[in-house]
Amino acid sequence: MRLDTSGREWGHVMDWGGHPEEDLGALTDLLDVTEEQDWQERALCAQTDPEAFFPEKGGSTREAKRICQGCEVKDDCLEYALAHDERFGIWGGLSERERRKLKKRAV
């Protein structure tokens, strides 16, 4: 059994019932989740030690940033972190402080 974002069961589009615009919204949400999972599965950090990406305060970010430089989904990762206001860890090759500065410049 699958549930859409409003908690209704669905299996086939014809089974949804309701309003088409609601169904389209739920389908769009599901596609967004699928896209997120796609880039996350291809991320190099998913294949390495996660502790490098969440160093202790004052710890080195060098190893995580080095891994990010060679990652094909670095831009998707950074976009996700900015959109979801991720406050901890290295995302898209940037630290929390670097992401805050980037957001301030964008405003």
Is residue 49 within 8 A of residue 83, CB to CB? The reply is no
Taking only the tens place, the pLDDT of each residue in 16-48 is 445 445 555 554 554 555 666 788 999 999 999
Residue 3 confidence (pLDDT) above 60: no
Instruction: Give the lowest-confidence range in 2-6, 29-33, 89-93.
Output: 2-6
Residue 7 lies inside a defined structural domain of this protein? no
What confidence score (pLDDT) does residue 37 get?
73
Residues of the chain by 3-state class (helix, strand, coil), percent to 5: 60, 5, 35
Would you say how long the chain is, in residues? Answer: 107
Residue 10, marked binder: no
Only one residue has tokens 């964008």, namely 106
Residue 21 lies inside a defined structural domain of this protein? yes
Residue 89 lies inside a defined structural domain of this protein? yes
What confidence score (pLDDT) does residue 15 get?
41
Residue 2 lies inside a defined structural domain of this protein? no
Residue of higher predicted confidence among 21 and 13: 21
Residue 80, marked binder: no
Residue 39, marked binder: no
The number of helix segments (H) and strand segments (E) in the chain equals 4, 2
Residue 45, marked binder: yes
Residue 1 lies inside a defined structural domain of this protein? no
Residue 6 lies inside a defined structural domain of this protein? no
Taking only the tens place, the pLDDT of each residue in 61-88 is 999 999 999 999 999 999 999 999 999 9
Domain enclosing residue 89, as ranges: 12-106
Residue 100 lies inside a defined structural domain of this protein? yes
Residue 3 lies inside a defined structural domain of this protein? no
CA distance 39 to 91: 13
Helices 62-69 and 74-83 pack at an angle, to 10 degrees, of 120
Number of domains within the chain: 1
What confidence score (pLDDT) does residue 106 get?
81
Q: What is the pTM of this model?
A: 0.65
